[in-house]
Structure 1
């Protein structure tokens, strides 16, 4: 992890004098992400399939971002991003899990929350835009599985950590049209754990309004003590934002 952070940090230092905003810029957006969940969770050695055994469905999705860019070339720009995924469902276990016997009907709830603080530099800023930086992700995830009739026994799988990640964003503007396409993402892989969060989109901008539609995929393979989440969350999204 130290090697990854050093490499990215060195790239950021080299990139800093290449491009910077002429004036202070501020932007914000909110989005709806129609996501599906697949993968596995582990609790003290017991493993459950979150899609087939728990039948989790998307209940709510909150996504919001805020960024500020400035003309000081030495200092990085700042982006904040918040994501909340809540899913629940009823299913039947195909194996023992967390003290609940195989074949039991279960009720399950997954809450996945993350706050990203990203420091980045603009490497290119014209019809081709390229940003490079580092993200600190505050990740918190809880999966609660209960016997459907009585609610007991219950098994809780939890992960909670602040994780450094690389950040890369690219956008290509079609001049004089307000149309652009782009992609951005955060990523890290270290010591058997990995997190990836990427999206690709098309954007239309008119005046200060930015409208986007695209596809986002997030992959979490993270172990916290005896608990482990190895899940993929992906699906289309739409967003609306403003830029000043």
Structure 2
């Protein structure tokens, strides 16, 4: 958020600066996400009950981004979310056409990578940013059940791409405190993804660079059919995250 304030000062001093921020910005964010699953897999198998007993896990989120003042050319954001959730229990279900009636270990890996192209609305307000864009999300995970007595394993790769619409609002203050909210969304046929997060942070009073701490909440609602992901899913992953961010403008 320091870059926004600095850009506002430059805008007051330089007529050309009124057209756009005069700063190129490179930054990174890292956080731990305590993600808890609910919902069902493969035509009604509960991820919380039915013996799957998938429990909350600490996933990792890492993002890097590049912002520039060039009109019409999007800013670029890359994000990696590692989200591997597991559980074990006594199950008596049919999962992917395999009957299980034993103690089993279950895994749901919804790790994914995002490439987001972002454009900003040219608002004449120094502490409010509204952005929109497009995201390509590559899932690279699995859904699996493995019987511990028989050793029978049944699973499917969750390896597919979803295009998403992106929107974001950022609000800063002169005191280093800021808030933001963003959403990725797509819905077509029996497939739907809604990824929402909101957080509040504080930029430490360090000159030149932005170094801050942030806490927030993220929720992913995912529905897929067998045509997209080789398995029916209707799950929600949600929970609080805590992390830090760093950026520098030049």
Q: Work out whether the TM-score is over 0.5.
A: yes
Question: Please, what TM-score do these two structures have when normalized by structure 2?
Answer: 0.82
1:26 maps to 2:23: no
SS in 2 for 1:110: strand
CA contact (8 A) 2:35 2:57 kept: no
CA contact (8 A) 1:158 1:224 kept: no
Q: How does 1:204-215 map to 2 (within 5 A)?
A: 204-206=202-204, 207=206, 208-215=210-217
Question: Please, what TM-score do these two structures have when normalized by structure 1?
Answer: 0.84
Instruction: State the match for 2:220 in structure 1.
Output: 218
Q: How does 1:23-172 map to 2 (within 5 A)?
A: 23-42=23-42, 47-53=44-50, 54-101=52-99, 103-123=101-121, 124=123, 126-152=126-152, 154-172=153-171
Runs of 4+ in 1 over 6 A off after TM superposition: none
The structure with the largest alpha-carbon Rg is: 2
SS in 1 for 2:95: coil
The number of residues matched between the two structures is 222
CA contact (8 A) 1:129 1:171 kept: yes
CA contact (8 A) 2:226 2:232 kept: yes
Distance change (3 Å), C-alpha of 1:93 and 1:47: farther
Where structure 2 has 5 or more consecutive residues not aligned to the other structure, the ranges are 1-17
Q: In 2, distance between residues paired with 1:98 and 1:128?
A: 48
Instruction: State the match for 1:173 in structure 2.
Output: 172
Q: In 2, distance between residues paired with 1:48 and 1:104?
A: 15
Where structure 1 has 5 or more consecutive residues not aligned to the other structure, the ranges are 1-17
CA contact (8 A) 2:110 2:158 kept: no
Q: In 2, distance between residues paired with 1:81 and 1:20?
A: 25
Aligned-residue Cα RMSD (Å) equals 1.9
For residue 100 of structure 1, report the CA deviation from its aligned partner.
Answer: 4.3
SS in 2 for 1:56: coil
For residue 229 of structure 1, report the CA deviation from its aligned partner.
Answer: 2.1
1:242 maps to 2:246: yes
CA contact (8 A) 2:180 2:199 kept: yes
Deviates more, 1:222-231 or 1:232-241: 222-231
SS in 2 for 1:93: strand
CA contact (8 A) 1:111 1:143 kept: yes
Deviates more, 1:189-198 or 1:221-230: 221-230
CA contact (8 A) 1:159 1:223 kept: no
